[in-house]
Structure formats: structure tokens, C-alpha cells
Homo-oligomer: A and B are copies of this chain.
Amino acid sequence: MDKPTARDRLAQAAIGLFNERGYEQTTVDDIAERAGLSRATFFRHYRSKEDVIFPDHDRLLGQVRDRLRSSSHSTALAAVSDAVRLVLLHYLDEGDLARRRYALTSTVPALRDREIVSVARYQRLFREFITAWMAGRAEYTALQAELMAAAVVSAHNHVLRRWLRGESPDPVREVDQALNQVISLFTPRTPEGDAGGATVVAFRTSQPLDTLIPAIQTLLETGP
């Protein structure tokens, strides 16, 4: 029966005090005192007071990055959708701890902001991955990369929050559905890239024909 490490004692003390008195009403001195340690030790283990709530965000972000690096999906969107599952599974694995943290981030503005910033880091990682994947493929635009990254993150967050609120009995299934919806949102309905024979391309738009025809003509003559 080893006694828990100093780091864990600090985290336990912090969560306990946050629940009892609230976040702002708890000082780092209080946390250290309850853990039977000194203030300096707290800052050795956690960079800030907020950090004790989000201990392993950096590690998780690294895992997602690794997953993307070693991914062999046919499209960037599929790779990112696959990688974001790691995040959801991490939260599910935390179980009740994630729920208690959600109770805090819902009520304490400083923690909510911190959470938002963390999410933005995932979105940025995804955007950069998609952009890199698209490099050289002229049929994609930077805006699309931006939209895809935002959509994947939103889909994940939506399911995660539902689970945190106890509204989702099967979040793994739900996140698959949500991500499929995102993928189908971005897959063009026009078939392309077939082998030989005739190529039939059909576009459909609500734009008036009168303005389109000259625009397409100049496009064909002068290039994009």
C-alpha cells in the first residue's frame, strides 16, 4: 500500500476544495496545505492553478498528433475524424472525473476560457494537418481546410457535451454518426476520376445562367 504521489495528493486536494468552497475562493496555499505539501511543490507539479484541472491536455494533444502522423487514410477528413476519437475516448475513460470537471468549467469563467483555448489547439492542429495534406492538390482550398477542421471539432464537442450532461447513453456510436455526417457534408456528390472513356461532368447551381456563361468562358480562356 504505497501512499499516493505528491502530484495526486495535490490534485485530490484541489478538486475537493473547489467543490467545497468554489474555485476562486480556494487559494493555492489552501490546496498545498490540505495535501500536506508546500506551495512551491504545487507549482513544481502544475504550471498554474488552472493546470490542476487539465493535467494531461498536452499529452493528449501529442497523442492526437502522433495518430495523425502515422495515419494512412485516403482523405484528410477521414484521418482527422479518426484522430478526434482519441479525445472522446480519453474523456470517457476518465468517467466521473470528467463530469466533475465539466461542472466546474460550466460555472467558473476562467476555467471555461481555458477549456475553449484547449479546444482551439486541437482545431489548429487539424487545420494544419488538412492544409498539409491538401498541398499540391489544387481541387481544395484553404477555406475548406478551415471548415473541415471546425466541423470535426464541433461534432466531437457536441457529442462530448451531451455525454457530460448525461444525455448520451452511447457516445461512441453518436460520435461516429456525427463524424459521418460531417464527412458526407464535404463529399461532393459529383463522381470524378474514372478510368478512360467519356467524362461527363454535371454541375448544378442556382446562379443565373446569364452571368455564369461569360464567367465560365473567360475562365476557360484565361485560366483561373
Using a CB–CB cutoff of 8 Å, the interface residues on chain A facing chain B are 113, 116-117, 120, 138-143, 146-147, 149-151, 153-155, 157-158, 178, 181-182, 185-186, 188-189, 191-192, 199, 202-205, 207, 210-221, 223-224
Contacts and interface: CB of A to CB of B under 8 A. Distances in A.
Contacts of A211: 138, 223-224
28 contacts: A113-B113, A116-B120, A138-B210, A141-B214, A143-B155, A143-B158, A143-B181, A146-B154, A146-B155, A146-B157, A146-B158, A147-B151, A149-B154, A150-B150, A150-B151, A185-B185, A189-B204, A191-B204, A199-B202, A205-B220, A205-B221, A207-B223, A211-B223, A212-B220, A214-B224, A215-B219, A216-B216, A219-B219
Nearest to A186: B185
Given A139-B210, A147-B155, 11 more contacts: A116-B116, A120-B120, A138-B214, A143-B154, A143-B158, A146-B154, A147-B182, A147-B185, A149-B154, A203-B217, A216-B219
Nearest to A208: B223
Given A116-B116, A150-B150, A223-B207, A218 B158 contact: no
A86 to B, nearest CB: 20
A219 B217 CA distance: 12
A207 B138 CA distance: 14
Contacts of A120: 116, 120
Nearest to A177: B143
A139 B182 contact: no
A220 B224 CA distance: 13
Contacts of A205: 220-221
A199 B138 CA distance: 27
Which of A120, A155, A192 lies at the interface centre, i.e. has the most chain B CB atoms within 10 A of its CB?
A: A120
Given A116-B117, A154-B147, A203 B220 contact: yes
Contacts of A192: 213
A142 B158 contact: yes
Nearest to A188: B217
